[in-house]
Structure 1
């Protein structure tokens, strides 16, 4: 039976893992279902007497994880009076450890089985569902901002910071297949419309600047292989994207001075900074931010008091909750990962997935100035899923290239 075949099992498990990493806000058990599917695949893989896949990651990635989580763990040791800082809290050491799970699950499943098309089709289907339903709901209900299956427009906006670069990579990779090219090109348009309709200015600005920087680096590294006209067109297109994002940001906030000033962000940033001033080495505890903001550090004039609020800044959430230890760990993580992505585009200079992931990484770093990205469970899972997908495409391309040489 085909469904008992390990190849079919790997495809089914991949579908569930990809879906689970995107389902956080409309079904809270999405990731749990993914983990169950992955566990069943691992058991089936072992029963078939297959050797454990020897998944390898670049040393920069491994060191980034080691340094980051070591700093988080040490800072947590100062707050063991509240077990929620270690496990069980909205923010805890264990919750941070589990954020990269989609990366390792998708690599384990696809390391020895070519699941690239399955992953691509699943991702594209989810993209169509999010964008299609979101645009339909926005038009039918005359909504002010699009939120699709999710309760928050910014959530969908930040998701598009991952979906759009990955869709562009799929378009470049499958450009010789007319059907794939048409389907993914339409999806790219829908994703751009979705991003605009969410009116998420931070996501639009971060993505446009990230793409602009990525294009400039690409043009610099491939200036000999590309004609002058093509280089100019790409550069002008990237610059135009930044200008359009700026104009959209002004358009969405021009009638609301409160929003133009960043809404409650200045209040929350000050509160987070004051938390760190009082607890410089290890912060208030990974799970202590919400409780601390609702009480001692809530500033007069804030509209988000006792609401489902967050720090609106990835650096500040680590600084306030984990102190200097977590802050240094996060910065070390960014530096090591940045070095990895730089090496990656040098080795795989013509692989679209290398450039795609560089753009996603830059977008998350930039958007982290205004919202939580790497510290967010939902966004982090999606980021690491995309990371794993791009690594699989590079791995199988490398294997096929080596086979052709032989």
Structure 2
């Protein structure tokens, strides 16, 4: 434990406090065990910032090249603007909630400018993976013993009984950080710490598999492949971008046609394609302002959900099953399959695609704002990675941003409060290290 004792003796109290807060913020936001697990450290972060700003009589801790703020400002402003222009009060309220979810980025960025917090962030990520994976191991053990466990999705696990897809996204928000930490010589020096890293990575990858989230695996793997190529082919980076697009197209095709997970994903994987089609119809009728952030489900069921299309798809699925099993056709069974399809596809609250969500609910104004946000920070982090080859926090930040964003193209993404806050938290961490290459110059 010399590492911890040396840190305690050598670190100034102010920097120590910033690092402790970051440790618990990363842990709390990536596990979400209770509201207090992320609310308390965020509150402490706000108190720290207020005290520091008052003491310095300055807001210099937020100093960042203005262009690096552009992506988030354009995105959130476009969402609020479209909602205000639409005039739907519930949607306006939700739009301002989206702005509130952005608060962890500001806190993490400020703390990252006060102290070298990367080791604290890695420690929080390791504890998060360990605790959440142990919970999944426990539930998996109960299932193997034949005990009945109420799961959010049958056959798929999520730590602390949350949605498997949400948990897969949270895993994508911390696993890359622990992976990239191997590049740090200080972390590699204590052998026991390296063994701990390896152990939690194995547990984290097993947990990701047990979520059964193809979007989570797609985002994590594609992001990792791209970052690896970007690091080793920095001077030919745009060839790597092309390779990413090609790889993504192949993997998405495999996702749609085959799937790569240990459990079934429902009666018909074309469900989400139909939701995208219905959301596209929704956008065509409300091109500029959308239907409102609180109105997607109401509009979906009231005007765009096509029962005949769903019934035909269910019948095709049923007939394909008969062909595989050589069973005889049953009108009663066919009706059951069709009704199950209608029940399944009418229960959704959003189209399981963040781009479709923002275009349908906030129109072209909010949709373009979200696309700009994604492309802006992808380019900004990629550019900084080229400029600062020795800063391992940048590939970690880019990997996390890609993994969580790509998963959002196949699921909920930043539409979910917990996912959004962790995305912003990690983006703030990466941006704090993007501002200055030499950490000795930071404090």
TM-score (norm: length of structure 2): 0.75
Instruction: Give CA deviations for 1:148-183 in whole Å, capped at 9, x if unaligned.
Output: 114211111122222221111222222233232221
Query: Residue 388 in 1 paired to residue 398 in 2?
Result: no
> Aligned equivalents of 2:435 and 2:143: distance in 1?
45
Cα deviation, 1:121-159, whole Å, max 9, x if unaligned, reads: 222111211112112211223372221114211111122
Q: Which residue of 2 aligns with 1:206?
A: 219
Equivalent position of 2:183 in the other structure? 172
Q: How does 1:2-401 map to 2 (within 5 A)?
A: 6-24=14-32, 26-28=33-35, 30-45=37-52, 51-80=58-87, 82-87=88-93, 92-142=94-144, 144-173=155-184, 174-221=187-234, 249-250=259-260, 252=262, 258-259=267-268, 261-262=269-270, 264-300=271-307, 301=310, 302-304=342-344, 307=347, 309-392=349-432, 398-400=438-440
> Partners of 1:189 and 1:355 in 2: how far apart?
20
Shift of 1:10: 3.0
* Corresponding residue for residue 227 of structure 1: none
Distance change (3 Å), C-alpha of 1:48 and 1:358: closer
Distance 2:160 2:437 in 1: 35
Contact 2:291 2:360 in 1 (8 A): yes
| Contact preservation (8 Å) 1:21, 1:102 | no
Q: Aligned with 1:311: secondary structure?
A: coil
Unaligned runs of 5+ in 1: 224-237
CA deviation after TM superposition for structure 1 residue 31, in Å: 4.6
Q: CA deviation at 1:402?
A: 8.6
Gap runs ≥5 in structure 2: 1-8, 150-154, 237-246, 311-341
The structure with more helix, counted as a fraction of residues: 2
1:374 match: secondary structure: helix
| In 2: Cα distance, 1:332 partner to 1:392 partner | 21
RMSD of aligned Cα (Å)? 3.2
Alpha carbons of structure 1 residues 184 and 256: separation in structure 2 relative to 1, 3 Å? closer
Preserved contact between residue 31 and residue 128 of structure 2 (Cα < 8 Å): no
User: Measured at CA, do residues 136 and 53 of structure 1 come closer, stay the same or move farther in structure 2, by a change above 3 Å?
Assistant: farther
SS of alignment partner, residue 410 of structure 2: coil
Q: Deviations 1:49-89 (Å, cap 9, x if unpaired)? A: 67544223344431112222232222112222x311111xx
Deviations 1:21-42 (A, max 9, x none): 2354x43455543443233323
Normalised by the size of structure 1, how large is the TM-score? 0.81
Contact 1:72–1:322 at 8 Å: present in 2 too? yes
- Provide the C-alpha distance between the structure 2 equivalents of 1:30 and 1:204, rounded to a whole number of angstroms: 26
Q: Compute the displacement of 1:352 (Å).
A: 2.0
Q: In the superposition, relative to structure 1, how do residues 64 and 390 fare at CA in structure 2: closer, same or farther (>3 Å)? A: closer
Equivalent position SS for 1:54 = helix
Kept in 2, the 8 Å contact 1:64–1:333? The answer is yes
User: What CA distance in whole angstroms lies between the structure 2 residues aligned with 1:188 and 1:356?
Assistant: 14
Range 128-137 or range 43-52, more displaced: 43-52
* Greater gyration radius: 2
